[in-house]
Structure 1
Amino acid sequence: MSFTISSPLCTICQVSIETQEHFLLACPLKSAVWTGILLEFFGTVPLPSVLSNAFQSFVFPSILNPAIPASSVFGLTILAIWDHHWSFHFNSVPFLLSAMLHIVCKSISRLCSELELDSP
């Protein structure tokens, strides 16, 4: 299965040129995912510096529930964005904010359940 890229614009938002930063953070739809996740798990709106520090220096904001590793929230969000991005391209799955937030929250819930099994 393959697809052809006919434009340098992001195929999801069709607004900006696709760069590494746009791929993960700056696309309006992906930015909305980050906003939703950071509000849900960190209680804050993500400033560009917060996301930059997390990705470049592994410095994460304080999380609301200390039982959940902040790095895992970021990692699972990246995984969901990556997976959903390519599902959009290869399987024509719409990139929907509500679906993305549900997937990330479900993954984090599963992680929490697994961590509880490991605790004494």
Structure 2
Amino acid sequence: MPSTVSSPLCTICQVSIKTQEHFLLACSLKSAVWTGIWLEFFGTIPLPSVLSNTFQFFAFPPTLNPAIPASSVFGLTILAIWDHHWSFHFNSVPFLPSAVLHTARKSISRLCSELELDTP
């Protein structure tokens, strides 16, 4: 696809060269999403090493609410980032961390509601 990729820079932030780490974590707009989710569900600001370990080894910190699985918070956040990333590329929808956070929170909330149905 050389005709469609005109620059090695991230198309979302326009600052850094695209790498796998940048795509998932280091892009400033995606990093803002991870920071927001981490603060809300884990109670800390994620260090880059913590996020990297989470991606590489699925080493999740405990959530503030033990009823919410950390792996689900992580997975649904990736899904929201992925969805908004491709909406940016294919539909020219701006990649806004607040919109991504809203999508992730909505998915996590839906999951929590479904999990509550399973409890006796």
TM tier, smaller? over 0.9
Give the Å deviation of 1:118. 1.2
What is the CA–CA distance in structure 2 between the aligned matches of 1:82 and 1:21, rounded to whole Å?
14
Aligned to 1:62: 62
Residue 35 of structure 1, CA deviation: 0.2
Q: Map of 1:41-80 to 2, 5 A cutoff?
A: 41-80=41-80
Partner of 2:4: 4
State, as a whole percentage, how many aligned pairs show the same letter: 86
> What is the rounded CA distance, in whole Å, between the counterparts of 1:118 and 1:52 in structure 2?
32
Deviates more, 1:25-34 or 1:50-59: 50-59
Instruction: Give 2:38's aligned residue.
Output: 38
When normalised by structure 1's length, the TM-score is 0.95
Residues 1:82 and 2:85 are matched in the alignment: no
How many residue pairs end up in the alignment? 118
Counterpart CA distance in 1 for 2:9 and 2:30 is 15
Q: Which structure would you say has the larger RCO, counting Cα contacts within 8 Å and 6 or more residues apart?
A: 1
Stretches of structure 1 lacking an aligned partner (at least 5 in a row) = none
**Cα distance per residue 1:57-116 (max 9 Å; x no partner):** 111112100000000000001011111001000000011111111110000000000111
If the length of structure 2 is used for normalisation, what is the TM-score? 0.95
Residue range with higher mean Cα deviation, 21-30 or 53-62: 53-62
2:24 aligned partner: 24
Aligned to 2:99: 99
SS at structure 2 position matched to 1:59 = coil
Runs of at least 4 residues off by over 4 Å: none
Q: What is the RMSD of the two structures over their aligned residues, measured on CA atoms?
A: 1.0
